[in-house]
Amino acid sequence: MGPLPTDGSQTEEMVDLLFSLAERVRTYAEAVAAEFDLSPSQAAALLRLEKPIPMNELATALTCDRSNVTGIIDRLERRDLVQRQPDSADRRVKRLVLTQAGDRLRSRLHKRLYSDLPNVSGLARELENLGTLLHGTQETDES
């Protein structure tokens, strides 16, 4: 939701940092997805398909309704990135399998996200600040 005006309290500062951090991560991931002409949901779906899974399971992973997955997969299938395969054990189920092109795209996407996110400008410092604030204001139960 982005950074917000602060009244200067310490808790507010921490929440602002959390929002700011989350927004930065989201913005970065969205930009990377866009590089590959993928919407955020499509990218999230692709990343989840390292191994074939039922549509049902993808819906759970994306925390959205099954009916949404139909649309998301429709668009990926139109681009020949994913295939729906029948499940021999349960004929109601369709298993989602990446095509060769889909797998290549997934790899490139994953690499871009995971190699570059830690270097996103300002992120390391925000984490530092959060850590400092956290230690000053509350205990954490590190079992």
Region near a second copy per CB under 8 A, out of 65-73, 81-89, 91-99, 126-134? 126-134
Handedness of CA 56, 62, 64, 69 (dihedral sign): negative
What is the spatial distance between Cα 68 and Cα 41, in angstroms, rounded to a whole number?
10
For 7, other C-beta atoms within 10 Å of its C-beta total: 7
Structure tokens at 5: 């005006």
Site string for a second copy, 10-49 (x = CB under 8 A): -xx-xx--xx-xx--xxx-x----------x--xx--xx-
Q: Is 67 in the site for a second copy (CB under 8 A)?
A: no
Burial of 138 (0-12, 13-18, 19+ CB in 10 A): exposed
Listed residue (52, 33, 58) closest to 113, CA to CA: 33
Q: Which two tokens stand for residue 8?
A: 């200067």
Residues 11-70 that bind DNA (CB under 7 A): 39-42, 54-57, 59, 62-70
* Selected binder of DNA within 14, 17, 46, 73 (CB under 7 A): 73
CB-based contacts of 118: which residues, under 8 Å, 6+ apart?
124
Q: Count of residues binding a second copy (CB under 8 A)? A: 43
| 62 scored as a contact of a second copy (CB under 8 A) | yes
> Can you give the binding site for DNA, defined by CB under 7 A?
39-42, 54-57, 59, 62-75, 84, 90-95
> Can you give the binding site for a second copy, defined by CB under 8 A?
1-2, 4-5, 11-12, 14-15, 18-19, 21-22, 25-27, 29, 40, 43-44, 47-48, 50, 61-63, 113-115, 117-118, 123-125, 127-128, 130-131, 134, 137-138, 140-142
